[in-house]
Amino acid sequence: MTADGSRRAGAAPPAAVTSHRIEDRRIVLQRVIHAPRDLVFLAWTDPVHIARWWGPHGFRSVVRQMDVATGGEFRICMVGPDGAEYPLRGRYQELVAPERLVYWVDWDDPARPPQPSLNRVSLSARSDGHTEVTLELEFASAGEREDVQTQQVVPGWGECFERLDAYLAER
């Protein structure tokens, strides 16, 4: 950190924790990302940036399609350390730069049972120049939410946020 409290280029962000709460059909995650809101929004909407942080630790992501517009579609394939592929597809429902994204997402693999969720990403600028990220995952039923929880979605998104924070620290 510099004397004025800003971070030096290349310096690691301060330690942060992803908090979460579980509701009937929803999982809500929150985290402070140590970057300005405009940059965080760009990281969620630019395929070059998405490929650098999307997925848990040890994963890489390939953006196959990304039409960032209301009604636009995206396809992202997460590739695990063992080479296993986890393809996703989605459709944007709402985009309000730089504060909100709403999109449907599901597996893009006929071998996997469908588990669609409506994801709401809210980005709130903080007075310290950082961004409060709230991610709400909403499912059709509590049973679907429980199934997704068994797939470690909460720690997985926590790792995604860690990767996003570290990636933006390099910017």
* Residues with Cβ within 8 Å of residue 161, at least 6 apart in sequence: 16, 18, 29, 31, 33, 133
Q: What is the pLDDT of residue 15?
A: 62
Instruction: In whole angstroms, give the CA distance from residue 124 to residue 80.
Output: 31
DSSP assignment, residue 146? H
| Confidence (pTM) | 0.89
DSSP assignment, residue 143? H
Per-residue pLDDT of the chain (171 residues; tens, 9 = 90+): 333 334 445 555 556 789 999 999 999 999 999 999 999 999 999 999 999 999 999 999 999 999 999 999 999 999 999 999 999 999 999 999 999 999 999 999 999 889 999 999 999 999 999 999 999 999 999 999 999 999 999 999 999 999 999 999 988
Instruction: In whole angstroms, give the CA distance from residue 144 to residue 30.
Output: 21
CATH number, domain 19-56+94-169: 3.30.530.20
Determine contact, residues 165/35, Cβ cutoff 8 Å. yes
Domain boundaries, the chain: 19-56+94-169
Q: What is the DSSP string of 32-74?
A: EESS-HHHHHHHHH-HHHHHHH-SSTT-EEEEEEE--STT-EE
